[in-house]
Amino acid sequence: MVTKKLTLVQAINQALRHEMEKNPDMVLLGEDIGLDGGVFRTTEGLIDQFGDNRVVDTPLSESGIVGVAIGMAAYGLTPVVEIQFMGFLYGAMEQLISHAARLRTRTQGRYTCPIVVRSPYGGGIHAPELHSESTEALFIHTPGLKVVTPSTPAEAKGLLLSSIRDPDPVIFLEPARIYRAIKEEVPEGEYLIPLGKARTLMEGKDITLITWGAMVHPVLKAADRMAMEGVEAEVIDLRTLSPLDIETLLCSVKKTGRAVIVHEAPRSCGLGAEISALLCEEALDALEAPVLRVTGFDTPFPLPKMEKYYLPDVDQIVETIETVVGY
């Protein structure tokens, strides 16, 4: 397999280009995605290759963009929408929840809604208000929407191609913090990662660490530190947040007997709470300690000078692992 070392931004650009060459019905919609190449330059150069009929600069109207995409999908096109920041998605919630997510059930399976809504999410880039949101739970809680987030460039390409080919609406969340922070070898050409399947990044016998997106990287560093103390952690990257790969989670926790869930989203009613409840319902006999969470806070995401106090860091994760292991 031929590979090339890319950033996450470059991997997404490669995935979009690959699929647009393969699928003449695929259309991109979003603010400044044409001549400007998108707010993070993920669509750079695509308008030159595919023209402004397929790479469409839209007005500043998130509800309108998603609404048009739903109509395009119903008429057989494959629209991929870019929303500049996750905090701007709220303007399109009515379209996503009341229409995109319900089209399959509303028509008793006669129509589906194959759209992808891409958006950067999460903190760590010193952005102003509404630019660092991590409110994936809003979409996970909505039946009919799939929610996907990559943690590396290769993952971004494989998961995005699968999302575009999925027959139902997918919210594809791109961790803004690692858009250009890491590079890795990304397969050229066709490269698919199935949705709904988590990946085990490290195997261990003492504790299961469950996370996703940008938080994968501090969790891996915490697992390495614990290894020096003789604790073997199993690290799971969820990849698809809805539907959840329950089998992988239960299998791991039944082996290790302990679990810590790490996410930067607010704590209350976050995905960590759902996973914790799931483990208590389905794996209680195997648990040797309470399931703990390391999360953000139940506050609006802070302004740039305070964000380092909001985001979970390696020290917090290590401290929580030690608490669970020492229980």
State pLDDT tens for residues 163-222. 999 999 999 999 999 999 999 999 999 999 999 999 999 999 999 999 999 999 999 999
pTM of the model: 0.97
Q: For residue 92, which amino acid is it?
A: A
- 96, burial (CB in 10 Å: exposed 0-12, middle 13-18, buried 19+): buried
Q: Is pLDDT of 130 > 90?
A: no
pLDDT bin (cut points 50, 70, 90) of residue 275 is very high
Mean pLDDT in residue range 18-35: 97
Q: Is pLDDT of 156 > 90?
A: yes
Query: Of 18, 99, 131, 217, which residue is the catalytic one?
Result: 131
The pLDDT assigned to 128 comes to 86
18 is catalytic: no
The pLDDT assigned to 129 comes to 85
Q: Is pLDDT of 137 > 90?
A: yes
What single DSSP character describes residue 230? T
Q: What mean pLDDT, rounded, does the chain reach?
A: 97
What single DSSP character describes residue 10? H
Mean pLDDT in residue range 88-94: 96
The pLDDT assigned to 19 comes to 98
Q: Is pLDDT of 251 > 90?
A: yes
Q: Where are the alpha helices (DSSP H) in the chain?
A: 8-22, 46-50, 62-74, 93-98, 103-106, 136-140, 153-165, 216-228, 246-256, 271-282, 307-310, 314-325
| SS3 label, residue 183 | coil
Q: Is pLDDT of 255 > 90?
A: yes
The pLDDT assigned to 1 comes to 84
Q: Is pLDDT of 53 > 90?
A: yes
The pLDDT assigned to 238 comes to 98
What percent of the chain lies above the pLDDT cut of 90? 97
318 DSSP β-pair partners: none
CA-to-CA distance for 120 and 125, rounded, in angstroms?
Answer: 11
